[in-house]
C-alpha cells in the first residue's frame, strides 16, 4: 500500500510524436488488462505507488528518471482512455499547467453523467493540492495535478512540483483509501533521493503546532500583528519565515480567518487566501509565543522493456513496441469473449 513522493531531475524537451502515439496505445492496453484482471480500484492503488508508476513509465519507453515522465505518462493515460472511460469505470481529470485548473470542472461534468455528487471529489482534488503546496513547504511549486477516480467514488492524485533552484521535480501521490486525515501524514510512503529541511505541517509531530496555529488564526488580527512586529524585529530570522510578511495583506487574511473561526487545521487551510506565507508566519508565532515547534522533517525517504526516449539504456525499438501493443490488444479482445489464455500467460510473467 505504498503511496508518496518521487523525485526526478528536470529534463527539457518533449516526447517525439511517434513515441507519444505509441505510449497512448500501450498505456490504454495496459490499463484495460489491469482493470479486467484486478478491477478499477486495484489500478488506482497501483498508479498511486511511485515505484509502480515509475516502472509503468519505463515500460512505455519514457525516461526512467526524467521529470517529464509524470506529465507525459499522465497525458498518455488520459488520452488513451477517453473513449473507454465509461467501460473501464475510471476517469482522468486535470493535467499540466492550465489543464490542472480545469480539474474541478471536469470532475463536475463527469459526475453529472454518472449521477454522482461531485462535492467530495472536488474537495479532495483541491485540498490535496493545498496540502502539498502550503503545508509541505519543501520548495517545490506545483504545476501538474491529475485527479483519477472510479465510478465508486475512490480516487488517486498524481501531482508534481518544480524547485527552481536545484532544477529537480518532485512528484506527490495520494490514494483515497490510505488518507485517514488530509493534515496528518497523508502520504503513507515516500521515495526520493534528496532530503532537506522544510516546514512540514502535516507531520505527526506537528500536531501541537497545527492546534496552536488554528487557535491563533481565530484571534483578532490586531493582536496577532502586534506580536508579529516584535518577531520581525528580531536580529536572527527563524527558518520558518524566509520572506517578509506584508502587514496589510496579512491583516486581510487574518481578518478572514477570525471571521470564519475554523474548527480545525483542515478547515483553516481550506480558507481561500491562506497560503504558505500565512502558515509559516502562524507557525513561527505559535513556536515563539507558545513553545509549540512544528516539524522541519522532509517527508521524503529514500525496469525497462522498450528502451528510453533519450536512448538510455537503449533506443526505443519500434518493432518490439508495436508487437507489445498488438499482443495486449489481442489479449483484451479475447478476454472480453471469454478466451483468457494470453492474459494467463501475462500473469505467469508477473506482468500484472
pLDDT-based confidence at 66, cuts 50/70/90? low
pLDDT-based confidence at 246, cuts 50/70/90? confident
Q: Under a CB-based contact definition with an 8 Å cutoff, are residues 213 and 197 in contact?
A: no
pLDDT-based confidence at 51, cuts 50/70/90? confident
pLDDT-based confidence at 342, cuts 50/70/90? low
pLDDT-based confidence at 127, cuts 50/70/90? very high
What's the pLDDT at 220? 93
Q: Average of pLDDT values for 39-57?
A: 86
Instruction: List, for residues 319-340, the tens digit of each pLDDT value.
Output: 766 666 666 677 667 666 565 6
Q: Average of pLDDT values for 104-108?
A: 98
Q: Which residue has the higher pLDDT, 306 or 280?
A: 280
Torsions phi, psi for 315 (to 5 deg)? -65, 150
Q: Which three cell numbers stand for residue 224?
A: 496577532
Q: Under a CB-based contact definition with an 8 Å cutoff, are residues 217 and 268 in contact?
A: yes
Alpha helix (H) ranges present in 165-246?
Answer: 207-217, 221-232
pTM (2 d.p.):
0.79
Give SS3 for 119: helix
Residue 15 pLDDT greater than 80, yes or no: no
Amino acid at each position: 500500500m505504498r503511496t508518496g513522493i518521487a523525485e526526478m531531475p528536470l529534463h527539457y524537451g518533449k516526447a517525439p510524436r511517434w513515441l507519444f502515439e505509441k505510449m497512448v496505445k500501450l498505456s490504454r492496453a495496459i490499463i484495460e488488462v489491469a482493470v479486467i484482471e484486478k478491477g478499477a480500484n486495484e489500478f488506482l492503488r497501483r498508479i498511486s505507488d511511485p515505484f509502480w508508476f515509475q516502472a509503468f513509465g519505463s515500460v512505455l519507453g519514457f525516461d526512467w528518471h526524467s521529470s517529464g515522465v509524470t506529465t507525459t505518462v499522465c497525458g498518455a493515460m488520459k488520452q488513451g482512455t477517453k473513449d473507454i472511460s465509461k467501460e473501464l469505470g475510471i476517469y482522468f481529470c486535470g493535467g499540466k499547467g492550465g489543464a490542472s485548473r480545469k480539474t474541478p470542472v471536469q470532475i463536475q461534468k463527469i459526475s453529472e453523467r454518472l449521477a454522482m455528487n461531485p462535492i467530495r471529489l472536488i474537495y479532495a482534488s483541491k485540498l490535496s493540492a493545498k496540502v502539498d503546496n502550503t503545508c509541505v513547504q519543501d520548495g517545490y511549486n506545483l504545476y501538474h495535478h491529475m485527479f483519477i477516480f472510479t465510478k465508486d467514488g475512490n480516487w488517486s492524485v498524481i501531482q508534481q512540483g518544480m524547485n527552481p533552484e536545484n532544477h529537480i521535480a518532485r512528484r506527490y501521490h495520494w490514494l483515497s483509501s490510505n488518507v485517514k486525515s488530509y493534515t496528518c501524514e497523508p502520504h503513507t510512503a515516500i521515495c526520493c533521493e534528496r532530503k532537506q529541511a522544510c516546514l512540514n505541517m502535516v507531520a505527526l509531530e506537528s500536531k501541537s503546532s497545527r492546534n496552536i496555529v488554528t487557535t491563533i488564526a481565530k484571534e483578532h488580527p490586531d493582536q496577532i500583528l502586534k506580536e508579529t512586529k516584535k518577531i520581525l524585529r528580531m536580529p536572527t530570522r527563524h527558518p520558518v519565515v524566509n520572506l517578509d510578511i506584508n502587514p496589510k495583506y496579512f491583516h486581510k487574511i487574518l481578518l478572514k480567518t477570525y471571521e470564519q473561526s475554523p474548527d480545525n487545521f483542515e478547515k483553516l487551510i481550506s480558507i481561500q487566501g491562506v497560503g504558505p506565507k500565512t502558515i509559516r508566519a502562524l507557525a513561527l508565532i505559535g513556536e515563539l509565543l507558545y513553545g509549540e515547534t512544528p516539524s522541519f522533517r522532509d517527508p521524503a525517504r529514500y525496469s525497462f522493456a522498450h528502451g528510453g526516449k533519450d536512448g538510455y539504456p537503449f533506443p526505443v525499438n519500434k518493432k518490439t513496441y508495436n508487437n507489445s501493443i498488438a499482443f495486449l490488444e489481442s489479449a483484451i479482445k479475447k478476454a472480453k469473449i471469454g478466451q483468457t489464455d494470453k492474459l494467463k500467460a501475462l500473469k505467469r510473467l508477473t506482468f500484472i
